[in-house]
Structure 1
Amino acid sequence: MIGRRGWGSERGAAAVEFALILPILVLILFGVIEFGGVYNAQLMVTGAAREAARDMAIHGAVNDAAEVARAAAIGIPEGALDVTVAPATCAEGTDITVTVVYDRPFLTGLFGSTVELTGLATRRCQG
């Protein structure tokens, strides 16, 4: 009968297996962190577009609507949002569309440098 010593030592097997699986675990961890950050930024951009469309539908001022969008995007650097309002005037009974675009940089750089996030909202003008 061959004992355990006959097959050789397995003392380092766990360390080798851990070393092989660690890069995959780290990649998954960074992926979850990046996805969470991008998803949060997408929610902020969409919320900013909704707030700007609401302000534009009520007040009809394009510059004020853009400022409302920038103020609603909490956590996004000032000046990083590109706000577009179409049409530029808000006549009663017409629809106004606000598009907010944000190029969010990735934290790690493993998945590229930036991702473009777009928020879109449409409201009926109140006049």
Structure 2
Amino acid sequence: MRHRDESRNGIAVVEFALILPVLALLFFVLVEGAHAMQAYSDLVEASREGARLALMEGPTSDIDSLVRAVTQELDSDALTTLVTTDTGNTSVTVEVSYAYQPFIENALELLTGSPSLQIVAQTTMPLP
């Protein structure tokens, strides 16, 4: 019959306590990254729809309200839309930017020194 070494009884608990913060950080980064990618995907879709509207109705149409309608899940106060037409009036560019706020308010500020992350998507389409 084998006898267990009494000094090894708590090793699994200690190992788990050491690896738990690393696993929690990894989980947080994955969830936060997925949330930021969803915000970027919404911005890309909004800039494309805004450029299509400018193409169909002209660059003076109400692109900002369309962008806000497409990005309903995002905070509209942190959303900025910029529509520019080049000098030859041959193309229109719709740029949508968003000041991304992480789930944990101070997490991004601790890592980067900035309280928010600016996410930008832009689409350029030729005018007829």
Coarse TM-score class (shorter-chain normalised): 0.7 to 0.9
Structure 1: runs of 5+ lacking an equivalent: none
Contact 2:53 2:61 in 1 (8 A): no
Q: Write the distance in 2 (CA, Å) between the matches of 1:97 and 1:34.
A: 29
Q: Secondary structure at the match of 2:121?
A: strand
Q: Percent of aligned positions with the same letter in both sequences?
A: 30
Q: Write the distance in 1 (CA, Å) between the matches of 2:60 and 2:98.
A: 18
Report whether the alignment pairs 1:80 with 2:82. no
* Shift in Å, 1:96: 0.2
Contact 1:57 1:125 in 2 (8 A): yes
Contact 2:46 2:67 in 1 (8 A): yes
Q: Write the distance in 1 (CA, Å) between the matches of 2:116 and 2:77.
A: 16
* TM-score (normalised: structure 2): 0.83
* Partner residue in 2 for 1:100: 96
Structure 2: runs of 5+ lacking an equivalent: 110-114
Runs of 4+ in 1 over 4 A off after TM superposition: 88-91
Alignment of 1:3-14 (within 5 A): 4=3, 8-14=6-12
* Shift in Å, 1:60: 1.2
Question: How many pairs are equivalent?
Answer: 121
* TM-score (normalised: structure 1): 0.84
